[in-house]
Structure 1
Amino acid sequence: MAASRPHRIRSFNVVEQSTQTGDIEVLSFRLGAEEYGISILTVQEIRGYDSVTRIANAPAWLKGVINLRGQIVPIVDMRLRFKLGSAGYGSFTVVIILNIGRHVIGMVVDSVSDVVTLAPEQVRPAPAMGGGIDAECLHGLGTVGERMLILLDIERLMTAPDMGLVATEALPLAA
C-alpha cells in the first residue's frame, strides 16, 4: 500500500447505539507502549505518514501542515504533545485525520490497532494523575480483555486554548 493512499474508516453511529445499548465504539491506536482510544465519529480517514510543510516558530508537537484535497490541515504529533519522548516515523506511523466541528486536524500516532466496542461496564473513570494529558481531556479507561485503553476526549484536547489550533469565534452581538 502506498503511504499517501488513505484508508477509509466506516463511520459508526455511536450516539444511536449509546441510547439503545450504552455501547460506544472507539478507534484504538498506540503511542509508545500505551494504547489510546477516540470516538470513531471524529475520524475522517487514516493515512500513511508523509512529509509536512513546517511552520516557522510553531511548537515542536505541531509538525506542520499538509494539503489534503485542497484543504490545509495542521498535523499534531501526539507523542510529542503528550511528552512521550522523541517521535520516530516508521512504516506503521499513520496520520488520523479528524473532523472536529468544522475543522480538520491530523494527528500522528505510532500505529492504529482496531475499532473496539465498549460496553458501559468496560469504561472506568480515569484516576487523577499528572503528566502530559489534562484530566479534562480524558473520558476514562476502557478494558478489553487484557488490554487497557486510555480514552481521550479528542474534541476537547484539539480545541483546548493551549493547542491554538481552533480559533474561538466571536459571538454575535445582541440586537
Structure 2
Amino acid sequence: MNELAAKRGAGTATKDALFLVFRIGTERYALQAVEVVEVLPRLQLKPIPQAPSWVAGVFAHRGAVVPVLDLSALTFGEPAQERTSTRLVLVHYRPQAAEPARLLGLILEQATDTLRCNPQDFKAYGLDNRNAPYLGPVYEDAQGLLQWVRVEDLLDAEVRALLFPSPPLDPALLGESP
C-alpha cells in the first residue's frame, strides 16, 4: 500500500464527529453538530402561558413557529444569563426515528466553541439520572468533563404534546363554538 492510501485509510478509521460546546453556569456541555440547524443571536420570544418555566416561548422563523427551551432553566432551574455569547440554537428534534424532524430552539450560554472527537470517547458517568434523561455520557479533556446533551430526549410526552400537538391544531377550528 502506498503512503497516500495509508493516510486515507487512517483518516477514515476514526469516526470523529463535530460537537457544539456550550456552558450552563461553569459546566460544559455539547450537542452533536449534525443536530444543529442554525445558530442565531438571542431573540425576543413570545411567552407560552401555563408552560413549564423552562419553556422560554416561541418565535417565527421562515414561516414556522418554533418553540424554544432554556436549557439552563431545564437543567438547574436558573434561566440562562444574558450574555453576548448566549445563543438561540435551532436543532432537529425527533423523539422517534419514524417521525419527521421538527425545529426546536435552545437557549444556550457561551455557545461559541466546537470540539471534534470520536463519540465513543464519551463514557457513562455512573448515575441513573431519570429526571434528566437528555444528559448523556461525559468526555474528559484538558479542561475537565464535558457532557453530551441528547436532543431527542429533551422533552417528556406531556411537554412534547404541548409544544408539538399531534395532529397539529387547525387554526380554522379555533373560532368555531361547540
| Runs of 4+ with deviation above 3 angstroms | 129-132, 165-169
Instruction: Please report the RMSD computed on the Cα atoms of aligned residues, expressed in angstroms.
Output: 2.3
In the alignment, which of 58, 64, 72 is matched to residue 71 of structure 1? 64
Structure 2 partner of 1:16: none
Aligned residues of 2:18 and 2:117 also touching (Cα < 8 A)? yes
CA distance in 1, matches of 2:71, 2:119: 27
1:146 aligns with 2:143: yes
Say which SS state the counterpart of residue 141 (structure 1) adopts. Answer: strand
1:32 aligns with 2:31: no
Give structure 1 stretches of 5+ with no counterpart.
1-18, 170-175
How much does 1:46 deviate? Answer: 0.6
How much does 1:139 deviate? Answer: 3.1
Structure 2 partner of 1:107: 106
Give structure 2 stretches of 5+ with no counterpart.
1-11, 95-100, 168-178
Say which SS state the counterpart of residue 133 (structure 1) adopts. Answer: coil
Structure 2 partner of 1:62: 55
1:98 aligns with 2:91: yes
How do 1:117-128 residues align onto structure 2 when only pairs under 5 Å count?
117-119=116-118, 122-128=121-127
Q: Name whichever of 109-118 and 19-28 sits farther off.
A: 19-28
How much does 1:87 deviate? Answer: 3.3
Letter in 1 for 2:142: G
How much does 1:84 deviate? Answer: 4.2
> Cα deviation per residue 1:58-94 (whole Å; 9 max; x = unaligned)?
1111111000111100010111111242433222211
Structure 2 partner of 1:88: 81
CA distance in 2, matches of 1:74, 1:161: 15
Letter in 2 for 1:87: A
Instruction: Report the identity percentage.
Output: 22
Aligned residues of 1:81 and 1:132 also touching (Cα < 8 A)? no
Structure 1 or 2, whichever has the larger Rg, is 2
> Cα deviation per residue 1:6-34 (whole Å; 9 max; x = unaligned)?
xxxxxxxxxxxxx8423222111111111
Structure 2 partner of 1:163: 159
Q: 1:68 to 1:120 in 2, by over 3 A?
A: closer
Structure 1 partner of 2:45: 52
Letter in 1 for 2:36: V
Q: 1:111 to 1:162 in 2, by over 3 A?
A: farther
